[in-house]
Amino acid sequence: MAVSQSELSFARRMEGMTGNVIREILKLTQQPDVISFAGGLPSPDSFPESHIRRILEEIGGEFTSILQYATTEGYPPLREFLAAWVQGRGIEATPDQVLILTGSQQGIDLACKALLDPGDVVLVERPTYLTALQVFRMYQARAVAVPGDDEGIDPDALEKAIAEHRPKMLYAVPTFRNPSGETWSPERRRRIAQLTAAAGVVVVEDDPYGLLRYDGQPLPAVKAFDEAGNIIYLGSFSKIISPGLRVGYAVAREQLLRKLVIGKQTTDVHSSNLSQYIVNAFGRSPAFQSHLETICAQYRAKRDRMLAAMEAHFPAEARWTRPQGGLFTWVTLPETVSTTRLLERAVQQKVAFIPGTPFYTDGGGDHSMRLNFSNASFAQIDEGIARLGRTLKEALA
């Protein structure tokens, strides 16, 4: 006898879990005439298709081994490449301190698997990456937001939160934050590393956008100030090569990394050998640096186009960030405007965005929104921001 859907017994961790709000909103924007600033997608024009085709065509004697099972830690040449590469972020690491991930988001999941018990506290920025909040809920942890400003988390507020909540973990996106686009100052990075080390709090530093810098000078990672071995650094090739390859990486001291490896063994055994081979071959090629320069120029132009369009079309009451890099700008409106309700009206006008509420763990953000500028053309940016500006003005009238 078949069991009805209502009679199925799910794990308690699934209680209250809903789908990713971005994925749900993207379903609303599948019509070809909707201009979407909702996702975090890199531009298809940024994909190095010809280089990847050539790499695949030139695979030699390794092809058979690439098709076989491999070690969980990852393709050794890629781990060696990454250990040297992260020195550019001020991180000293050996290949044994690098784990290849199936997208850097897997690193958030593995860190939670290794560190969190039900009821444990994770400190987060306010606002923060909404999918990370979903992961924390899946592990039945409690996310507590720590206030800050455009230079990053407030160290005094962090010290107070550590004393009050005794967290296991701090999760942050210090460079070109998702969703707000802001970047922590060097002094904040150093101070947060010191405070968490003293308290024995593991920091998960998520850095998927760090190489997409359009203005200013590169900054050292928070992990560059890691003297206690309590920081896990997560990086990704999704935004700089291709999200479809699903290659990210974690850098951590051996004690932490070993726990991530054990967790990964129960998840997917190892990441795609073929994808790792492609990333390693392209990363070591002379074309890689010119590719990065090209996509940064593309995204800088799109960022500037969107900021200019907002200046021209948004109401005077609107405020927004001017990110030095990354993929997003963050808009703040008067508290009388609910962007959750505004989204429905905007979609009717054939333009979409992500409301601010899902990025908050404490119920805030309903008068804010995230806009992505990387995946739209100049014409779409001009028209979409004009449509959204009209919608905002109507809401404020």
Average pLDDT rounded to a whole number, residues 138-166: 97
**Burial of residue 193, with CB atoms counted within 10 A of its CB: 0-12 exposed, 13-18 middle, 19 or more buried:** buried
Task: Kindly state the percentage of the chain with pLDDT values over 90.
Answer: 89
In a domain, 133, yes or no: yes
* Whether 278 and 343 share a structural domain: no
* Whether 374 and 226 share a structural domain: no
Structural domain boundaries, residue 106: 70-283
Q: Which of 258, 283, 308 is the last residue of a domain?
A: 283
Whether residue 180 contacts residue 212, with contact meaning beta carbons closer than 8 Å, is answered with no
* Whether 207 and 92 share a structural domain: yes
Distances from the Cα of 73 to the Cαs of 30, 89, 115, in angstroms? 38, 22, 19
pLDDT at 37: 95
Provide the mean pLDDT of the chain.
94
Buried b (16+ CB within 10 A) or exposed e, 208-228: bbbbbbbeeeebebbbbbbeb
* Whether 25 and 129 share a structural domain: no
pLDDT at 381: 98
- Please, which residues have CB within 8 angstroms of residue 242's CB and are 6 or more apart in sequence? 42, 47, 48, 52
pLDDT at 30: 65
pLDDT digits (tens, 9 = 90+) for 256-284: 999 999 999 999 999 999 999 999 999 99
Confidence of residue 165 (pLDDT cuts 50, 70, 90): very high
pLDDT at 61: 85
* Three-class secondary structure of residue 22 per DSSP: helix
* Whether 99 and 212 share a structural domain: yes
Instruction: Identify the CATH number of the domain in which residue 163 sits.
Output: 3.40.640.10
pLDDT at 76: 97
In a domain, 56, yes or no: no
Average pLDDT rounded to a whole number, residues 54-75: 94
Q: How far apart are CA 365 and CA 29, in angstroms?
A: 22
Confidence of residue 17 (pLDDT cuts 50, 70, 90): low
Whether residue 161 contacts residue 192, with contact meaning beta carbons closer than 8 Å, is answered with no
pLDDT at 8: 78
- Two tokens at 374? 């990387």
- How far apart are the two ends of the chain, measured CA to CA in Å? 59
**Burial of residue 229, with CB atoms counted within 10 A of its CB: 0-12 exposed, 13-18 middle, 19 or more buried:** middle
In a domain, 236, yes or no: yes
* Whether 278 and 316 share a structural domain: no
**Burial of residue 194, with CB atoms counted within 10 A of its CB: 0-12 exposed, 13-18 middle, 19 or more buried:** middle
In a domain, 303, yes or no: yes
Secondary structure (DSSP) of 178-229 = TTT-----HHHHHHHHHHHHHHTPEEEEEESSTT-B-SS-----GGGG-SSS
- Please, which residues have CB within 8 angstroms of residue 348's CB and are 6 or more apart in sequence? none
Q: How far apart are CA 249 and CA 271, in angstroms?
A: 10
Whether residue 101 contacts residue 247, with contact meaning beta carbons closer than 8 Å, is answered with yes
In a domain, 364, yes or no: yes
* Whether 26 and 76 share a structural domain: no
Listed as own residue / partner, the contacts of 317-323 with beta carbons closer than 8 Å and 24 or more positions apart are 317/396, 318/392, 320/371, 321/150, 321/180, 321/181, 321/182, 322/181, 323/176, 323/181, 323/182, 323/183
In a domain, 385, yes or no: yes
Task: Please determine, for residue 31, whether its predicted confidence score (pLDDT) is greater than 80.
Answer: no
pLDDT at 332: 97
* Whether 235 and 119 share a structural domain: yes
Q: How far apart are CA 213 and CA 218, in angstroms?
A: 8
Whether residue 354 contacts residue 204, with contact meaning beta carbons closer than 8 Å, is answered with no
CA 308 to chain centre: 25
Instruction: Identify the CATH number of the domain in which residue 30 sits.
Output: 3.90.1150.10
pLDDT at 28: 61
Closest of 17, 65, 82, 91 to residue 284, by C-alpha: 82
pLDDT digits (tens, 9 = 90+) for 338-369: 999 999 899 999 999 999 999 999 889 999 99
Confidence of residue 106 (pLDDT cuts 50, 70, 90): very high
Q: Tokens 């003293």 sit at which residue?
A: 198
Angle at 15 between CA 124 and CA 109, to 5 degrees: 45
Q: Which of 283, 299, 317 is the last residue of a domain?
A: 283
* Three-class secondary structure of residue 8 per DSSP: coil
* Whether 218 and 156 share a structural domain: yes
pLDDT digits (tens, 9 = 90+) for 281-329: 999 999 999 999 999 999 999 999 999 999 999 999 999 999 999 999 9
Task: Please determine, for residue 5, whether its predicted confidence score (pLDDT) is greater than 80.
Answer: no
In a domain, 59, yes or no: no
* Whether 36 and 104 share a structural domain: no
Whether residue 262 contacts residue 229, with contact meaning beta carbons closer than 8 Å, is answered with no
Confidence of residue 9 (pLDDT cuts 50, 70, 90): confident
Q: Which of 238, 258, 283 is the last residue of a domain?
A: 283
Q: How far apart are CA 270 and CA 273, in angstroms?
A: 8
* Whether 246 and 317 share a structural domain: no
In a domain, 31, yes or no: yes
- The alpha carbon dihedral of 65, 67, 73, 76 has a sign of positive
Q: How many domains does the chain have?
A: 2
* Whether 215 and 251 share a structural domain: yes
